[in-house]
Structure 1
């Protein structure tokens, strides 16, 4: 934790160590579906070592699953965000069998075990039978406020063994019943290669962050959206807005930057749709699976970042950009309004409003002073609310609540 001293105040530091001391004998585990390529993995790769550093024995395990399982869980994910695809009996059986296998394979014992997102939730009944003394927590990073009823019922059917459920916003979990609800905002790690100042990078990381290695002109305006190639991130809408921007600023460029994580088989299909829509436009660049330092360089070097999601859990990419003093034009959905104060550190737009999106982008590209002011405010927003030490304290507080449930 000492490495983060410049990013936290004295009160926060004292609270972290005081609560951690109460859990010196507690063992905590986290299970998610992929070791890289998504926001959950990015959070755990920082939070888990820090929890260990402050004295709480914390482990992180990743599910063992195949493409068929991830195709099912992607459908579940979409259904929980309002998608209408049928959840068939074969899909239910695939989900059930894989989650049971993973639960049966777990050979570690924990006082508190956190299951992340729908992929892992199906493990709960088997885990409760095998480890009745373990407090089970479901950390759902998805907004369930518009979930298709069949998918919400599917999730609800696995919640009986869960002691507490954690959401990014309280309203995300209002539709579920029979479980205590907590709220934890996600966070970014200021010390990783993805978020450190460019001048602190060296070797391969410095090379990856060098904008000169990318296929666009660094002397021309650059708009960037960093997201999975996912329909809910609306990459086709981003291209449409960019084309409206180009009518006013012909030398503008767009970079759509996305990972292809193992648990998202839909990504390749969406990428192909985006590629077709971009056509032969030399100023639309699709970049995939960049190293973290490459994302860092793009977010520092962009004139502004877009996050035009149709639905969104939180959008860590917004905090990443704001931390780099890059203003963001983001959709007024999910956790994005938690991070953007309209007109203060960026702009909020309605998710399908192409005209307003283009207007805000043009406004920022044409006003250097406005971009600087919003960028400076954005960094302060993240420093105060969305850095890793705050989330460590939140998980320590969650430990207290979960253990308290079991003691009652």
Structure 2
């Protein structure tokens, strides 16, 4: 066995978990809630005094259901011990006909609303935040409650775990084939299918149903996705939402990741940087690198996928250059399986086409695997596609975010305060003296700490802006702070290096007048944390030197936050210059600073851009639309054996097939 197989503990941190807090303790609270009747306390008279505002609180909901009385019991826990119980009874008319679905639904809605109101009032009365809840499915069914988990998420920002019975447990474990346990293997119920239906037009939803019926019912396809990491970066973000949607639609789909290896991820990150043209020009992919990578791929294949996963799949998507080594193994054991590769970074195709260049060395090696795939999916920028990729095998597709997950859900004022408080505590724990001032605006760039993200330009642009504002007579309290933050990724060893470089840059004396207003933070994987910090920002930056299609731009625009960005990669496809933000040439910090100054100096301009940003961020950049692309490609290529792409947008194909005209266009 290879050394990197021994002693390996897979990371347990997933997108569906709240911050770095362990919700495992919550699995006991549903049982505890069933004895809550012994400790009934008046909601408004009880005040928790032994907990700090940073204590993570969970709750379990139990109860009983009789013909004319429903009772619910809520046990609130700090993850170790119960700290409070709530008990309520709801009386219903004696002659209710519970066999009538409408009567049962109305009864369930009343119970659900009472529970939501009870928890909400308790949180407000005690100035606390509950982050997770456990519910029992049989009890919900007996009450006739249909949306309590989803309401806990959408209205109270509480992650709901739904257990089948009192002995059920919350399980974050990866499957025996290294399946990613999305939403704690389905125990987390954030949304239902109607929630997703509400994010798109009726016309779009109707086409989704047709695509789903073809793939799920007529073809009975088994689909798999492979990429390098379950958390961090746009691929994992899209996949969590997509698997959640597929589960609701009944589509047979699984998501697999390899066991991580630091040496391999250093090699693949170097490849990434070389292809983007941001690596040391002397850096090369070596023969030893190739041997290490191929040994890692072989070990994963033999341990997890060779004997069953590869054989049973009809369509496999490889959504990372890290995983292209899987292709020959899939072809060997299942020649009929269709393999589709997605290239989601900005490849310097001009350099990849140049013999002898570092880019050509990396690309030629990757292409030796990719050329055997049935389709090449690229971001919709033709300059990202090297010459070797056949025209007929290429389609274009942008990345997407999810409108109702933690990155984009609405947060009320109390929830915003809670997450901003967490953000400031994280900054303090990381040794950052600066924290967000509630009385001042802020500028933000959310991105991985990566050499392609242009973070030095962010700092320089901000310093120039502050000088402009000082020269214009702005008092300090009217000037903005700067926030640079982002999540890490398991497969990204550059993050610590770039973070250290950023902190060293700030030691330069030329930043002495602004350094105390610059906040740099590496954040844990809490989606709502990023959501809150972005929502309270006045404007966003995206000054990448290389970029595929940046979902953080989409997320900012959807929140009505104008974006000033570099004209890099796919970003110009996302921003309507002068309408939803401004585009500047890469590295032109003076131009970036001037555009930021205009947005601060002209509130009417900012208000207009803010309105246009949210209005023009259409459903095309959200989960439903994105997974219609994936599903259509799988279905079409399975049925016809090939999809002649000719470098067209994939949406054009299903627009034509289903006679669809998007209402936004």
Distance 1:170 1:318, change over 3 A: closer
Moved more, 36-45 or 365-374: 365-374
Aligned to 1:177: 389
**Corresponding position of 1:228:** 448
1:262 equivalenced with 2:473 (yes/no): no
Distance 2:418 2:494 in 1: 31
Quickly say closer, same or farther: Cα 1:59–1:394, change in 2 above 3 A.
same
**How far did 1:102 drift?**
2.2
CA separation of 1:78 and 1:407: change in aligned 2, threshold 3 A: closer
Q: How does 1:70-219 map to 2 (within 5 A)?
A: 70-82=265-277, 83=279, 84=281, 85-104=283-302, 105-106=304-305, 107-108=308-309, 109-144=312-347, 145-146=349-350, 147=352, 148-169=359-380, 171=382, 172-178=384-390, 180-199=393-412, 207-209=418-420, 213=424, 215-219=435-439
Question: Which residue of the other structure, out of 196, 204, 208, is the alignment partner of 1:12?
Answer: 204
After superposition, the C-alpha distances for 1:195-227 in whole angstroms (9 at most, x for unaligned) are: 01112985xx87225598471212223110000
**1:112 touches 1:136 (CA, 8 Å); kept in 2?**
yes
1:31 is matched with which residue?
A: 226
Equivalent position of 1:363 in the other structure: 598
1:334 match: 569
User: TM-score scaled by structure 1?
Assistant: 0.94
User: 1:402 Cα shift?
Assistant: 2.4
Quote the Cα distance in structure 2 between the aligned partners of 1:99 and 1:344.
Answer: 46
Deviation at 1:273, TM superposition (A): 0.4
Deviates more, 1:365-374 or 1:262-271: 365-374
Task: Give the SS at the match of 1:2.
Answer: helix
Which structure: larger Rg? 2
Per-residue CA shift, 1:109-140, capped at 9, x if unaligned? 21111111211111111121122221111111
Per the TM alignment, residue 317 of structure 1 is displaced from its structure 2 partner at its CA by 0.5
Shift of 1:316: 0.7
CA distance in 1, matches of 2:642, 2:401: 33
Gaps of 5+ in 2: 1-192, 353-358, 426-434, 471-478, 644-665
Contact 1:35 1:62 in 2 (8 A): yes
- What SS does the aligned partner of 2:519 have? strand
Match of 1:56 among 241, 251, 268: 251
Deviation at 1:51, TM superposition (A): 2.2
Structure 1 residues without counterparts, runs of 5 or longer:
none
Aligned to 1:289: 523
**Paired residues of 1:211 and 1:301 also in contact (CA < 8 A):** no
Contact 2:315 2:338 in 1 (8 A): yes
State the aligned residue count: 406
Q: Which moved more, 1:84-93 or 1:211-220?
A: 211-220
| Partners of 1:265 and 1:406 in 2: CA distance | 39
* Structure 2: distance between partners of 1:201 and 1:98: 47
Mean Cα deviation higher: 219-228 or 277-286: 277-286
Pick closer, same or farther for the CA change 1:20–1:200 going to 2, 3 Å.
Answer: farther
CA drift at 1:246: 0.8
Give the 3-state SS of the residue equivalent to 2:618 in structure 1: helix
Q: Distance in 2 between matches of 1:103 and 1:48?
A: 22
Encode CA deviations 1:54-106: one digit per residue, 9 max, x unaligned. 23211111111300010000011111112432111111111111122223331
What SS is found at the alignment partner of 1:249?
helix
RCO comparison, higher one (Cα < 8 Å, 6+): 1
Could you give the per-residue CA deviations for residues 124-174 of structure 1, whole angstroms, max 9, x where no partner exists? 111211222211111111122344211221121112321111111151224
Instruction: Sort the Cα spacing of 1:337 and 1:407 in 2 relative to 1 into closer, same or farther, 3 A.
Output: closer
TM-aligned CA distance change 1:60 to 1:407, over 3 Å: same
- Report which stretch shifted further, 82-91 or 301-310: 82-91
